[in-house]
Amino acid sequence: MSMLELLGVSKSYGEGSTQVHALRDVSLTVDEGAMVAVMGPSGSGKSTLLTIAGTLEAPSSGEVLIAGQPVSTVSRGTKAALRRRVIGYVFQDFNLLPGLTAAENVSLPLELDGLSARKARVAGLKALDRLGLGGRAAHYPDQLSGGERQRVAIARAMVGDRRLLLADEPSGALDSANAQAVMHLLHDACKEAGMTAVVVTHDAQLASWADRVVFLRDGQVTDQTDPAPGPESLLHTEPNQ
């Protein structure tokens, strides 16, 4: 089943001679449990694609389906519920609230959604544990390293029953080792926890964690990788001298 579908999505800003086409007729299907990376230079429309996929912005034309549900036909309330319960967002600059501990940051979306503080806290701690941050639950963001902060942000994006992770340059502010670790976590979230992830990045090493890499240029999908053969094809080739 596809978790996310974009059908002929276009997005333009402004009018007449100043009109900018951020996306042109983009179609993309992401199956449940898949990790897809969107690669492209700055200004190619990557972030617009993600905000439209996350229902944070409406397309100028075309349709977005989340878990089979066409977003344009649902009420504002249902759309808001999708954003609170189904979709998790991860941003480059983490966006953690400085006055809340790691556990409070992670459980906040559930509390806002009406869950009791106690249940939200239990779910928050579980999400932190899953990302190896159980021991950091009581720490404030400024007591955490950059890599740990992003792991808290991922835990917040996964907390509860969220199934679709949308990440915009999630490793952008991290060093190479932490950036790899974040992608490894997103990869495992898909393979082990059954999440679906769309990750926007301009970095090929990070994109290569995905099952499929979609290339965006001037607002259009220009290409995508074929499902890669297993890694064993790289090993035991011709003996070298």
Partner 1 sequence: MSVRHAMLALLSEGPKYGLQLREEFEARTGEVWPLNVGQVYATLQRLERDGLVESDGTSDEGPRKAFLITPEGEQELARWLRRPPDLSSPPRDELVMKVLVALYVPAADVHAVIQAHRRYLVELMQQWTRIKADDTGSDLSMSLAVDAELFRLDSVVRWLDAAEARVNRAAAEPSAIRMSEDEAPAPLPWRRRGAGVRR
Residues that bind partner 1 (CB under 8 A): 39, 41, 180, 184, 187, 191, 202-205, 207-210, 213, 215, 217, 222-226, 228-231, 233-237, 239-241
Which residue's CB is nearer to partner 1, number 99 or number 239?
239
Strands 20-31 and 69-70: unpaired
> At closest approach, how far in Å is the CB of 183 from partner 1?
8
Dihedral sign, Cα of residue 223, residue 237, residue 35, residue 144: negative
Q: How far is the CB of 221 from partner 1 (least distance, A)?
A: 11
Q: By C-beta, is 29 or 225 nearer to partner 1?
A: 225
In the sheet with 35-39, reading across from the earlier edge strand, the strands are 87-90, 164-168, 196-201, 35-39, 212-217, 220-224
Distance of closest approach, residue 60 Cβ to partner 1, in angstroms: 25
Nearer to partner 1, 1 or 234 (CB): 234
Q: For residue 5, what are its two tokens?
A: 């579908």
Written as one letter, the residue type at 63 is E
Closest to partner 1 by CB, 69 vs 220, is 220
Minimum distance of partner 1 from residue 44's CB (angstroms)? 11
Nearer to partner 1, 1 or 235 (CB): 235
Measured between alpha carbons, how far is 5 from 164 in angstroms, rounded to an integer?
Answer: 12
Taking the complex as a whole, how short is the minimal distance between the CB of residue 196 and partner 1, in angstroms?
Answer: 17
Strand ranges (E), 91-211: 164-168, 196-201
Give the list of residues 6+ apart from residue 109 with CB closer than 8 angstroms, or none: 84, 156, 159, 160
Say how many C-beta atoms besides its own lie within 10 A of residue 166's C-beta.
24
User: To the nearest whole angstrom, how small is the minimum distance from the Cβ of residue 223 to partner 1?
Assistant: 5
